[in-house]
């Protein structure tokens, strides 16, 4: 459940907070597979007023997109029209169901729980601060 969120950025911290709250307040919501992630694009390529949307670095790097490139730093960086086109049209919509796993649930509870020690240990022992991503 957390594997993709830990290795990513762009709003995933908010997703983790929501998942932690739901795990505490309504665990059946997650266990029933009703928690979904509606992704916003990371890259927007404008070519003659036609926009193409890319949701991962790999997706963009594999494309042969031509035009003006914009890097969206999250949902707030999109205009209402871009949000509608990139997230609510069949061509671009990326909605992933968050599938719970026992390991993911344990990690979520450890890292987002009341006890600070597992979180501190994770931050200092498992995060490589030499790599900076924007």
Q: What is the pLDDT of residues 51-66, one digit of tens each?
A: 999 998 999 999 999 9
pLDDT of 83 above 60: yes
CB atoms within 10 A of CB 107: 17
Predicted local confidence at residue 101, as pLDDT: 86
Domain range summary for the chain, segments of one domain joined by +: 1-35+98-128, 38-96
Q: What is the CATH topology of the domain spanning 38-96?
A: Dna Ligase; domain 1 (3.30.1490)
Predicted local confidence at residue 6, as pLDDT: 42
Q: What is the pLDDT of residues 105-117, one digit of tens each?
A: 888 888 888 889 9
Cα distance between residue 101 and residue 114, in whole Å: 21
């Amino acid at each position: 459940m957390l594997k993709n969120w830990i290795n990513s950025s762009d709003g995933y911290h908010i997703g983790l907070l929501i998942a932690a709250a739901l795990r505490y307040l309504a665990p059946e919501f997650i266990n029933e597979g009703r928690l979904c992630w509606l992704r916003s694009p990371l890259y927007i390529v404008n070519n003659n007023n036609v926009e193409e949307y890319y949701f991962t670095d790999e997706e963009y790097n594999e494309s042969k997109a031509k035009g003006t490139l914009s890097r969206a730093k999250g949902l707030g960086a999109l205009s209402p029209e871009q949000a509608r086109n990139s997230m609510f049209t069949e061509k671009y919509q990326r909605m992933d169901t968050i599938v719970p796993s026992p390991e993911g649930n344990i990690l979520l509870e450890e890292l987002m729980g009341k006890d600070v020690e597992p979180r501190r240990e994770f931050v200092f022992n498992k995060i490589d601060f030499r790599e900076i991503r924007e």
